[in-house]
């Protein structure tokens, strides 16, 4: 009986030990799986909005900002310069409303020339800051319809010696160029023009070079068409005796540089001006026929003569 009991007891012990071993193995496997899960979780964490690695960089550090214009390797061509605005003579050195009054400024004379106003109702005030910056406000009408020029306010350079009456020969000048600029009111009847006197002031040749014509017609007849001077096409008008000659441009010119000598040489070459002519005066201004009976202002913002 004891041996059988011992055998049963031994079997129970053996079975218990076996079960303990199995339990230990199971526990080990479970722990191993938990460790693997923890390791896996640590290696591949779930994304969180508070720790995202794709958040945008601050605006001040963006890598797509444009490069400064000073470091561009290619540049657009510069824009064309805007047309120069008329100069404003807000503090004039000279002002007059008197007929034939004027002011000397260096080599030039600004002249409130109202040579034919006496028989008409005309008023005219001129203010000047310089020979290249002056304006005139005129009031005139053409109610009687004769189309007469009443005034020619202008700036001019004298070659005529008013003391001796002497003038230099035209042929002594290899060049005569002039710059000009003027703006007009586009009302009434007028022409903005150079007026060049030869052989006296006034002399036996008056040569006009119109730069802008507003409803005006030159004296004489058109004797040439499409003449080219200073990059512009011109028509030439002449009286029968050639004492009045006028070049009229194909388009208005509000500013520019003219080769006056080229115009004069053409006239000499065509026999319309004597080759032994003398130079008396070069003027630039406006011939006023009418302003429609209302004040109208003409501004002159450049004038020079190079000889």
Question: What's the confidence (pLDDT) of residue 62?
Answer: 34
pLDDT (mean) for 200-217: 97
Res 278 pLDDT > 90: yes
pLDDT (mean) for 201-226: 97
Separation in Å, CA 12 to CA 4, 20, 82, 97, 157? 12, 12, 114, 144, 143
What percentage of the chain's residues is helix, strand, coil (to nearest 5)?
20, 35, 45
Sheet bearing 279-290, strands edge to edge: 102-105, 108-111, 154-158, 279-290, 189-200, 203-214, 244-249, 232-238, 221-229
Contact residues for 232 (Cβ-Cβ < 8 A; gap 6+): 249, 250, 251, 253
What tokens does 239 get?
A: 């009286």
Contact 307, 217 (CB under 8 A): no
pLDDT (mean) for 265-275: 98
pLDDT (mean) for 193-200: 98
Contact residues for 127 (Cβ-Cβ < 8 A; gap 6+): 89, 92, 94, 95, 134, 135, 136
Contact residues for 73 (Cβ-Cβ < 8 A; gap 6+): none
Q: What is the pTM of this model?
A: 0.72
Question: What's the confidence (pLDDT) of residue 184?
Answer: 98
Question: Per-residue pLDDT tens for 292-303?
Answer: 999 999 999 999
Numbers of helices and strands, H then E, in the chain = 2, 15
Question: What's the confidence (pLDDT) of residue 35?
Answer: 34
What tokens does 291 get?
A: 């302003």
Contact 99, 114 (CB under 8 A): yes
Contact residues for 304 (Cβ-Cβ < 8 A; gap 6+): 132, 178, 179
Domains of the chain: 94-306 (2.60.120.180)
Question: What's the confidence (pLDDT) of residue 291?
Answer: 98
What tokens does 218 get?
A: 């030159």
């Amino acid at each position: 009986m004891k041996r059988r009991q011992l055998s049963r007891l031994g079997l129970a012990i053996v079975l218990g030990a076996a079960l303990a071993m199995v339990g230990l193995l199971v526990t080990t496997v479970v722990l191993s799986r938990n460790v693997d899960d923890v390791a896996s979780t640590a290696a591949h964490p779930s994304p969180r909005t508070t720790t995202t690695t794709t958040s945008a960089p601050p605006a001040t550090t963006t890598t797509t900002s444009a490069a400064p214009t000073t470091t561009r390797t290619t540049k657009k061509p510069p824009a064309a310069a805007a047309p120069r605005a008329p100069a404003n003579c807000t503090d004039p050195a000279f002002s007059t409303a008197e007929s034939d009054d004027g002011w000397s400024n260096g080599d030039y004379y600004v002249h409130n020339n109202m040579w034919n106003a006496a028989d008409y109702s005309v008023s005219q005030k001129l203010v000047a800051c310089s020979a290249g910056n002056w304006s005139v406000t005129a009031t005139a009408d053409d109610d009687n319809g004769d189309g007469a020029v009443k005034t020619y306010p202008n700036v001019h350079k004298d070659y005529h010696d008013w003391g001796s009456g002497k003038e230099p020969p035209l042929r002594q000048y290899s060049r005569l160029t002039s710059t000009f600029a003027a703006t007009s009111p586009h009302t009434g009847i007028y022409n903005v023009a150079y007026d060049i006197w030869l052989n006296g002031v006034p002399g036996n040749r008056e040569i006009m070079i119109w730069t802008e014509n507003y409803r005006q017609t030159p004296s004489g007849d058109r004797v040439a068409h499409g003449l080219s001077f200073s990059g512009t096409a011109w028509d030439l008008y002449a009286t029968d005796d050639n004492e009045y000659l006028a070049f009229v441009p194909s388009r208005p010119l509000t500013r520019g540089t003219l080769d006056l000598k080229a115009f004069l040489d053409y006239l000499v070459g065509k026999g319309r001006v004597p080759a032994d002519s003398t130079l008396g005066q070069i003027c630039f201004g406006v011939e006023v026929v009418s302003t429609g009976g209302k004040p109208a202002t003409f501004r002159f913002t450049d004038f020079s003569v190079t000889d």
